[in-house]
Structure 1
Amino acid sequence: MQTSLLLMVLYLSLPGGTQAFKPLISGGGSVTHRDITQRAVLRKTAEVCRALAAAQGQDFSLPIGDSLSIVKLQKACSADSSSSTLVSTILFQSAIVKMYLSNALVDMEFALSKAHHFDGETFQGGRALITAGVSEVKASVKQGRYLLARLALGRVCHTLQDFYSHSNWVEMGNRQPYSTLIRPDLQLVNLAGIVCGTICSLFKPSPDIPT
Structure 2
Amino acid sequence: MGIFSKFKDNYEKNLVIEILNDQFKRIESLGLLSFNPKKLSVELVENLWGESASYLNGSIHKRPARIVFSIAALSNGLECLAKDDVQNQKAFLVLLRELFTEVDVNRNQYGIKAVDVELLEIASKIYVEFSQNLSSEESVSEQVNLESYQTWDEWYAVFQVEAALHFDKLGKFNCLEYMDKSPLQRAYEDNVDPKSLAKVFAENTNFETVFKNSV
Same fold, TM-score > 0.5, yes or no: no
Give TM-score, length-normalised by structure 2. 0.29
Name the structure with the higher helix share: 2
TM-score (ref. length: structure 1): 0.29
User: Larger relative contact order (C-alpha < 8 A, sep ≥ 6)?
Assistant: 1
